[in-house]
Structure 1
Amino acid sequence: MKGTFPIDKFQEIQTPFYYYDTNVLRQTLKTINEEAGKHPGFEVHYAVKANANPKVLNIICQAGLGADCVSGGEIQAAIKAGFPASKIVYAGVGKSDWEINLGLEKGIFCFNVESIPELEIINELAEKQNKIAQVCFRINPDVGAHTHANITTGLAENKFGIAMRDMESVIEEAAKMKNIKFLGLHFHIGSQILDMGDFEALCNRINELQNQLEAHHIVVKNINVGGGLGIDYNHPNRVPIPDFKDYFDTYAKKLKLRDGQKLHFELGRAVVGQMGSLITKTLYIKQGTAKQFAIVDAGMTDLIRPALYQAYHKIENISSDEPMETYDVVGPICESSDVFAKATDLNKTHRGDLIALRSAGAYGEIMASQYNCRQLPKGYITEDF
């Protein structure tokens, strides 16, 4: 089963470009709000790094989600889209002074702090502005996730977060700083996680940490578990919306929240992944010695995930209903890794046919580059047609 696209309108647009189905996006947001809303104290922030298209951000903002940012530029994009500063959290292992100052000036909800040196700089800059910086400490829980090695973030070997053994001393250090207010703990174990057992393991680790802190009379008002919920790249039409019920229920059942404690989530891919497709045009069909190539005008500069992570995206010829043939789908970039798929079946493909690379709403347009002096792909939403 193929996706549904306004193909006639697509013919008028320069390829490659991203198409965002806002009907899917709005239904996804509705489901998130319904399922999270069943649990008091659950607050969802959208991970801006997944897709910062201004029109997409505006729709997400209107749905009432907060914003999870990892750079000053993302804070600016979130503010411009209408997200209230009071619902913005700012993470990142390497925050520059100007970015910290921006967060302080805007009055964001909190900084997710990853080291004592970072905490000291935030305190110093907050003092200069006569501000109180609200902080959560990102703890590395040493919890693995069943996902690609490049997108695990919660193992002891990863660069992210403060080691569990240092947690109490860091909290005690923060208490001595007059321009720091400790709000809670932050975690993030990885991305594209489909096994709820990984989230259960995180819950168990957090439960242990909470007991440990309470034994030392340390109160945690906010727990931020990050995001990580994956999507079904194999069946974008059959499963357009992730199982948010199972996701939120897992935390509700396994995490022992205290009275009045807030639980924050940072969802990115699960919010926008399935709404997006990269639309590209077939340039040539080339018969190689051992295989047939469909050469398209999109490349790794437009969608880097297959080259970077060997990521799979379902590929559809949305112009043809002819019998299936097998192709390697490749781009025009001067790199051998500029391959979207090998030995994939498409309806018989001709020059000029439009090809859709599905499930490209997350980490697609936002990661595009101008390597080979190429133009950046534009992004269009349903309402643009």
Structure 2
Amino acid sequence: MKGNFPVTALENIETPFYYYNIPLLRETLGVVTHEAGKYNYHVHYAVKANANSRILSVICENGIGADCVSGGEIKAALKAGFSADKIVYAGVGKSDWEIDLGLDTDIFCFNVESIPELNVINERASIKNKIAPVALRLNPNVDAHTHHYITTGLNENKFGINLIHLEGVLDHLSGLKNVKLVGLHFHIGSQITDMDAFKSLCVRINEIQETLYRRHIIVDIINVGGGLGVDYENPDRQPIPEFKSYFEVFYRHLKLRPKQQLHFELGRSLVCQCGSLMTKVLYVKEGVNKKFVIVDAGMTDLIRPALYQAYHKIENLSSEGPVREYDVVGPICESSDCFGKCVSLNETKRGDLIALRSAGAYGEIMASRYNCRELPKVRYSDDI
């Protein structure tokens, strides 16, 4: 063992592959359900973070709902055992067949992002003689101070409805007979570690609720999305995010109306730390001023460093040698296929097993077959 990894067993498995620590996932889910349960909060898992069938099944076993952003994710959630009445369907571009799927399976709610989308949902529901429950996704214009690719709650963003348009949307909604307004939905971004951002969201929601109250509108559901970040720098220091403080922020600062339910859509924080990408060293190449560790995993297996310049802690599980600095790169024919520069690793040689940590979220699910590569395989801790 090195850390929580059964190195001897893992070294005999063909790389690259994703390794999931199932006990850690179960422990994380236990903390989430306990902390949310204190306030009778409802948690949905954001399937886009990781749709691995085994991961979905474990999450479903814990009574958590599903947050889906495509028809495919709705199908995956249903197949894994999630009850339709716990499935929320978000997404800025829902096609007709996806809307029909949600209506036919009687999902809990559609999170709606525009008047044109409201119109189409109303039309599809009318054809089926159904009433579609909808929540309006509003942009609260709260800056989460994260990477610009994963900030979603600002005014100038493809997601959601700007607050200046809210009155017009409410007026339009009142004329639609086959949709029912049941909630308000918010999501300000991802990988948020500053709790003040969530406090600001609470303040803005309180203001919006007051505006609606003046129109005699009280919705049943407030959905605050997700966004809670994880510790990529040192995953062993905090393998389970600070859910206690997270839920407390909303309990202290959000003013719910009587009988209103508060819903969350957590993804990264549930699954990120339970997953690692395992890869082996193909070559150690001498450069002019640096050494390159060339591994058999690439951006096709974990695209986040190339796409977001995201950091993942990299560890040599095979070596206890002195620490050296390397650039860790993959085999893809792209200069951006780099997992890290000037990475401190124990002295590394061909065949060493390398772990890219905190890869349980947006790792396997974003893998591709670019360069005609095979998709990464998967192994689970309780199967080894």
- Shorter-chain-normalised TM-score: which range? over 0.9
With the length of structure 2 as denominator, give the TM-score of the two structures: 0.99
- The one-letter code matched in structure 2 to 1:6 is P
Moved more, 303-312 or 374-383: 374-383
**Mapped contact 1:186–1:224 kept (Cα < 8 A):** yes
Equivalent residue runs for 1:75-94 within 5 Å: 75-94=74-93
Question: What secondary structure is seen at the aligned counterpart in 2 of 1:151?
Answer: coil
Moved more, 48-57 or 12-21: 12-21
- The one-letter code matched in structure 1 to 2:236 is N
Give the Å deviation of 1:168.
2.6
Equivalenced residues, count: 384
Equivalent residue runs for 1:273-352 within 5 Å: 273-352=272-351
State whether structure 2 residue 220 is matched by structure 1 residue 198: no
- Partner deviation per Cα, 1:125-165 (whole Å, 9 max, x = no partner): 11111111110000011111121111100011111001112
Equivalent residue runs for 1:93-104 within 5 Å: 93-104=92-103
Give the Å deviation of 1:303.
0.3
- The one-letter code matched in structure 1 to 2:90 is A
**Mapped contact 1:101–1:125 kept (Cα < 8 A):** yes
**Mapped contact 1:168–1:213 kept (Cα < 8 A):** no
* Structure 1 equivalent of residue 23 of structure 2: 23
1:205 and 1:365 mapped to 2: Cα distance? Answer: 35
2:5 and 2:379 mapped to 1: Cα distance? Answer: 12
**Mapped contact 1:2–1:237 kept (Cα < 8 A):** no
* Structure 2 equivalent of residue 124 of structure 1: 123
- The one-letter code matched in structure 2 to 1:201 is S
Question: What secondary structure is seen at the aligned counterpart in 2 of 1:150?
Answer: coil
- The one-letter code matched in structure 2 to 1:61 is C
Report the CA distance shift for 1:7/1:309 in structure 2 as closer, same or farther (over 3 A). same
Give the Å deviation of 1:85.
0.3
Question: What secondary structure is seen at the aligned counterpart in 1 of 2:226?
Answer: coil
Question: What secondary structure is seen at the aligned counterpart in 1 of 2:24?
Answer: helix
- Partner deviation per Cα, 1:244-269 (whole Å, 9 max, x = no partner): 00000000000001111000000000
1:93 and 1:372 mapped to 2: Cα distance? Answer: 30
Give the Å deviation of 1:371.
0.5
2:2 and 2:332 mapped to 1: Cα distance? Answer: 27
Equivalent residue runs for 1:374-385 within 5 Å: 374-385=373-384
Question: What secondary structure is seen at the aligned counterpart in 2 of 1:271?
Answer: helix
* Structure 2 equivalent of residue 106 of structure 1: 105
With the length of structure 1 as denominator, give the TM-score of the two structures: 0.98
Q: Which runs of 5+ in 1 are unaligned?
A: none
- The one-letter code matched in structure 2 to 1:20 is Y
**Mapped contact 1:2–1:316 kept (Cα < 8 A):** no
Equivalent residue runs for 1:237-276 within 5 Å: 237-276=236-275
Q: Which runs of 5+ in 2 are unaligned?
A: none
Question: What secondary structure is seen at the aligned counterpart in 1 of 2:149?
Answer: helix
Give the Å deviation of 1:2.
5.9
Moved more, 130-139 or 11-20: 11-20
* Structure 2 equivalent of residue 67 of structure 1: 66
* Structure 2 equivalent of residue 32 of structure 1: 32
1:89 and 1:202 mapped to 2: Cα distance? Answer: 20
Equivalent residue runs for 1:127-138 within 5 Å: 127-138=126-137
* Structure 1 equivalent of residue 7 of structure 2: 7
- The one-letter code matched in structure 1 to 2:171 is E
Question: What secondary structure is seen at the aligned counterpart in 2 of 1:231?
Answer: coil
RMSD: 1.0
* Structure 2 equivalent of residue 171 of structure 1: 170
Task: Report % sequence identity.
Answer: 65
What stretches of structure 1 move > 6 A for 4+ residues in a row?
none
Moved more, 51-60 or 316-325: 316-325
Report the CA distance shift for 1:2/1:205 in structure 2 as closer, same or farther (over 3 A). farther
1:378 and 1:161 mapped to 2: Cα distance? Answer: 36
- Partner deviation per Cα, 1:26-48 (whole Å, 9 max, x = no partner): 110000011001113x1000000
- Partner deviation per Cα, 1:209-230 (whole Å, 9 max, x = no partner): 0001101111111000000000
Give the Å deviation of 1:280.
0.3
- Partner deviation per Cα, 1:66-88 (whole Å, 9 max, x = no partner): 00000000000000000000000
Question: What secondary structure is seen at the aligned counterpart in 2 of 1:249?
Answer: helix
